[in-house]
Amino acid sequence: MAAVHIDESTWVLVLTGAGVSAESGIPTFRDANGLWENHVIEEVASPQGFARDPSLVWRFYSERRRGVLSCTPNPSHTALVDLERRLGDRFLLVTQNVDGLHVRAGSQRLIPIHGTLCESKCSGCDRAPFVDTALYLDTVLPECDRCAERGQRSLLRPNIVWFGEVLDSLALSRIESFVETAAAERLVFVAAGTSGLVYPAAGLVNVARRAGAETWLVNADRAANASSFDHFVEGASGTILPSLFS
Ligand code: OAD
The residue whose CA has the least distance to atom 18 of ligand 1 is 236
Is 114 in the active site?
yes
Task: Answer whether residue 38 shows pLDDT above 90.
Answer: no
- Please choose from 30, 80, 234 the residue to mutate so as to test ligand 1's pocket, defined by most ligand atoms within 8 A of CB: 30
**CA–centroid distance, residue 154 to ligand 1 (Å):** 32
pTM for this entry: 0.96
Residue 139, pLDDT > 80, answer: no
> With bands split at pLDDT 50, 70 and 90, how would you rate the model's confidence at 36?
confident
Most ligand 1 atoms within 8 A of CB, residue of 16, 31, 117 to mutate = 31
**Dihedral sign for Cα atoms in the order 99, 103, 105, 107:** positive
Mean pLDDT of 113-117: 98
In the predicted model, what is the mean pLDDT of residues 99-117? Answer: 98
Distance 71 CA to ligand 1 centre (A): 17
Ligand 1 pocket check for 28: Cβ under 6 Å:
yes
Whole-number Å distance, alpha carbon 170 to ligand 1 midpoint, is 24
Strands 156-160 and 130-131: unpaired
